[in-house]
Amino acid sequence: GENVEQHPSTLSVQEGDSAVIKCTYSDSASNYFPWYKQELGKRPQLIIDIRSNVGEKKDQRIAVTLNKTAKHFSLHITETQPEDSAVYFCAAGGGADGLTFGKGTHLIIQP
C-alpha cells in the first residue's frame, strides 16, 4: 500500500517569512496529492491540490510542487500570517482510492 512521509513534524517561523513542508510517497500509482489544513476538532480543509500531470500549482500565497520521478511533493506558504498557524497534512491517492495521509506538521507563526 501507499506510505506517505511528512517533515518536519513541527515548524516555527517568523510572521512574514516563508514555510516549506515536504512529503514523500511510495506508490507510483498515486496521482492526486492534496494538502489540508486542520484546526483542532475540525474537519480537514483542502488548501491546494496537484495532480501527477502537473509539476507546480500556485494559489496566492500557497504553492505546491511535485516531483513525480523522485516521488516527493512540497507545500510552500509565503508571507506567513498568524492565521496560518495550524496542523497541515499532505496526502496521496486518487481516483476511487482513499487517501493516505502524512503524520502532519504543526506550523507555528511567531509574531
Residue 33, number of CB atoms within 10 A of its CB: 27
- Told to check if 94 binds another protein by CB under 8 A, we report yes
- What distance in Å separates the CA atoms of residue 73 and residue 90, rounded to the nearest whole number? 9
- What distance in Å separates the CA atoms of residue 87 and residue 79, rounded to the nearest whole number? 17
Residue 73, φ and ψ in degrees, nearest 5: -145, 150
Measured from the CB of residue 17, what is the shortest distance to another protein in angstroms? 25
- Told to check if 89 binds another protein by CB under 8 A, we report yes
- Told to check if 103 binds another protein by CB under 8 A, we report yes
Are 11 and 85 within 8 A, CB to CB?
Answer: no
Please, what sign has the CA dihedral across residues 68, 73, 60, 34? positive
Measured from the CB of residue 76, what is the shortest distance to another protein in angstroms? 21
Measured from the CB of residue 19, what is the shortest distance to another protein in angstroms? 19
103 secondary structure, DSSP code: -
The residue within the footprint of another protein, chosen from 5, 27, 31, 57 (CB under 8 A), is 31
Nearer to another protein, 88 or 109 (CB): 88
Nearer to another protein, 45 or 81 (CB): 45
Binding residues for another protein (CB under 8 A): 1, 31-32, 34, 41-44, 46, 49, 51, 89, 93-104
